[in-house]
């Protein structure tokens, strides 16, 4: 478990990709495959709960969008870019192995040369990890302000997956193994953290818990051309991991009394399973995956940004992330 002494969330923002890609469109593109494999249409809607997702238009890259989200967060926070001491990019999406995605965003924001900048990649948990690391550096007095950012673009991977599944040699097992790839969506998010003592009334980041179950590191393996998953194994292993972490943290944090639970957005099955296993009030667990899909590490901060206007001062918000590997982390923010 970890605690933060003097850290506040000053802004959290989201950028929604403009191109709507309905799940029905994927059904149409895969119609011959579904017929050949005797699979029904509408699985993405009925099983995953994903009605649509977003793609970027041809003129926008994922790191353009991440830069836009970060600039928006800085403007809302009132923090001058010259005061930023740390930029962490947590995007899973990348077009090359080096340099870091963070270096392009750092340049795009016009941050000072004194600002540390690097990528953290930890599947869908990256953004929560970035928040925790930045908060620790603020508490240590090493930096004053930090920007955590994420941009995702699954379009090339989804197009490659559809081409592969459309081939006459594709099997039912292939389809089920790559099904999760079709639930992904594009989007971007950013957050600005700073010392709570300098920003009275800002949203306090208190701390939380993290746990790992890395014996499950083979259950979800992704790359530029596609993602292979064991859906039932991920559900079982992830649920056990989340419950273990929750039970460890509950005596210290009393999260059963929290006002909102912002979870990583995967599917109806995953959300319902977590709600039931932890005994949460379903009304306090917002979902954005039906219209955005699973936007990877950006899912949680995008959902938090969407909920911000409905939160009141003093509300306790528990952010709950899970990433393939498997890893989980939960952190509390007092609004």
How far apart, in whole angstroms, are the C-alpha atoms of residue 283 and residue 253? 21
Q: Spell out the alpha helix ranges (H) of 141-215.
A: 155-165, 172-178
Q: Answer whether 90's CB lies under 8 Å from 126's CB.
A: yes
Annotation says 98 is catalytic: yes
Helices (H), the chain: 23-29, 31-36, 43, 62-77, 101-109, 126-139, 155-165, 172-178, 231-253, 268-278, 289-292, 299-307
DSSP string, 248-289: HHHHHH-GGG-SEEEE----HHHHHHHHHHHT--GGGS---H
Q: Which residues pair with 72 in a beta bridge?
A: none
Backbone φ/ψ region at 78: left (φ over 0), alpha (ψ -120 to 50), beta: left
124 is catalytic: yes
CB atoms within 10 A of CB 16: 18
Please tell me which residue in 16, 28, 52, 124 is annotated as part of the active site.
124
Q: Which of 16, 28, 76, 98 is catalytic?
A: 98
User: CB neighbours of 185 closer than 8 A, spacing ≥ 6?
Assistant: 17, 21, 50, 53, 54, 55, 152, 154, 292, 293, 294, 295
Residue 21 has φ and ψ, to the nearest 5°, of -120, 100
Interhelix angle 299-307/126-139, rounded to 10 degrees, is 70
Orientation of helix 101-109 relative to helix 62-77, angle to 10°:
50
Catalytic residues: 98, 124
């Amino acid at each position: 478990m970890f605690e933060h002494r003097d850290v506040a969330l000053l802004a959290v923002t989201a950028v929604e990709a403009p191109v709507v890609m309905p799940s029905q469109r994927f059904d149409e593109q895969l119609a011959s495959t579904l017929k050949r494999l005797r699979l029904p249409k509408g699985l993405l809607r009925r099983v995953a709960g994903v009605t649509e997702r977003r793609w970027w238009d041809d003129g926008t890259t994922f790191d353009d969008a991440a830069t836009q989200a970060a600039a928006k967060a800085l403007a809302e926070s009132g923090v001058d870019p010259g005061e930023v001491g740390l930029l962490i990019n947590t995007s899973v999406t990348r077009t090359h192995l080096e340099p870091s995605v963070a270096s392009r965003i750092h340049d795009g924001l016009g941050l000072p040369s004194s600002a540390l900048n690097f990528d953290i990649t930890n599947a869908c948990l990256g953004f929560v990890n970035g928040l925790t690391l930045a908060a620790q550096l603020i508490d240590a007095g090493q930096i004053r302000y930090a920007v955590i950012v994420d941009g995702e673009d699954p379009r090339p991977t989804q197009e490659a997956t559809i081409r592969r599944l459309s081939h006459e040699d594709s099997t039912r097992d292939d389809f089920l193994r790559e099904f999760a790839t079709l639930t992904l969506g594009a989007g971007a998010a950013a957050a600005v953290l700073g010392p709570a003592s300098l920003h009275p009334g800002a949203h306090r980041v208190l701390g939380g818990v993290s746990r790992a179950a890395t014996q499950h590191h083979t259950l979800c393996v992704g790359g530029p051309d596609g993602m292979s998953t064991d859906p039932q194994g991920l559900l079982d292993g992830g649920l056990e991991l989340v419950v273990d972490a929750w039970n460890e943290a509950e005596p210290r944090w009393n999260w059963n009394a929290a006002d909102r639970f912002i979870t990583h957005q995967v599917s109806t099955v995953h959300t319902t399973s977590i709600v039931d296993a932890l005994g949460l009030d379903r009304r306090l667990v917002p979902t954005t995956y039906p219209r955005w899909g699973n936007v990877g590490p950006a899912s949680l901060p995008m959902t938090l940004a969407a909920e911000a206007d409905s939160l009141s001062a003093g509300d306790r918000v528990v952010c709950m992330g899970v990433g393939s590997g498997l890893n989980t982390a939960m952190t509390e923010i007092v609004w």
